[in-house]
Amino acid sequence: MKTTLKLIIGGMLAAFLFGNSAYALKVGVAAEPYPPFAEKNASGEWQGWEIEIGNAMCAAMGEECEWVEVAWDGIIPALLAKKFDVIMSSMSITEERMKTIAFSDKYYDTPAVIVANKGSGIDGTPDSVKGKIVGVQVSTTHENYVTKHFAGTADSIKTYSTFDEHNQDLVAGRIDAVVGDSLAMQPFLTSDAGQCCEVAGQLKDVAVFGPGVGGGMRQEDTELKANFNAAIAKIRADGTYQSISDKYFDFNIYGAE
């Protein structure tokens, strides 16, 4: 009887220790929809390529992702305030941001583009936006690019809280062009509303855009960074990354090695 009781108690203790060992990694995501990377479905659940990749990475670390939404322009302060552990919200790795936070290795890389009305004559060069109004999402590398390259020629630069807002203003004719991620622009360009517009040019500046998109974390969290990098390598090596990506894209979203 005593032996049986010890076994029962031992089993309960093991179940408690190991059954509750999974750590919920709090992952910060911008509250604004950013398809196909992240958006909420009709049930209010997060979905999209970046959400699936994040969940796969958490699983590779033996953890579960707890997605914490926050406004994009406050996402770094929220990380530093320990509202969550890591940013996974299409944040480009840049020297400026690395003054404040650390980054993992990249987990994808897609080029920036300028989108304008068909036949507008805008091609992404500074001269082509002379006298024009260019829209861009605030607190992004795209805003940094527009400020650096177009401030001297564009009539004005208009910033927006969300990606959808500047697309709506482009359709309405309140602005002449928008700058954003090439892949994120695709749902708009293939929509009925987006038939007015086209990719007018690809934009390159490594100093502004950095080497790609990575997970942002507090600089002191060196163990998390190592685990995060190991998870990226693992899901790429075992085919999980490609399997998820194939559901969304017909090209190599990871970019150059």
Question: What's the whole-model pTM score?
Answer: 0.78
**Do both 95 and 50 map to the same domain?**
yes
d(CA 128, CA 227): 45
Q: What is the CATH number of the domain that holds 138?
A: 3.40.190.10
User: Residue 193 corresponds to which tokens in the numbers above?
Assistant: 């509303």
C-alpha distances in angstroms, 188 versus 47, 184, 185, 237? 18, 8, 5, 33
Q: Tell me the Ramachandran region of residue 121: left when phi exceeds 0, alpha when psi lies from -120 to 50, beta otherwise.
A: left
d(CA 121, CA 233): 43
Supply the pLDDT for residue 122: 98
Q: Assess if residue 7 is contained within a domain.
A: no
Mean pLDDT of the chain: 91
Supply the pLDDT for residue 4: 40
Amino acid at 139: S
d(CA 161, CA 228): 29
Supply the pLDDT for residue 139: 93
Supply the pLDDT for residue 58: 97
d(CA 247, CA 123): 31
Share of the chain above pLDDT 90, in %: 88
Share of the chain above pLDDT 70, in %: 91
**Do both 38 and 99 map to the same domain?**
yes
| Residues spanned by the domain of 157 | 112-209
Q: pLDDT category, 165, cuts 50, 70, 90?
A: very high
Residues 6+ apart with CB under 8 A from 231: 57, 58, 60, 61
Instruction: Domain count for the chain, please give it.
Output: 2
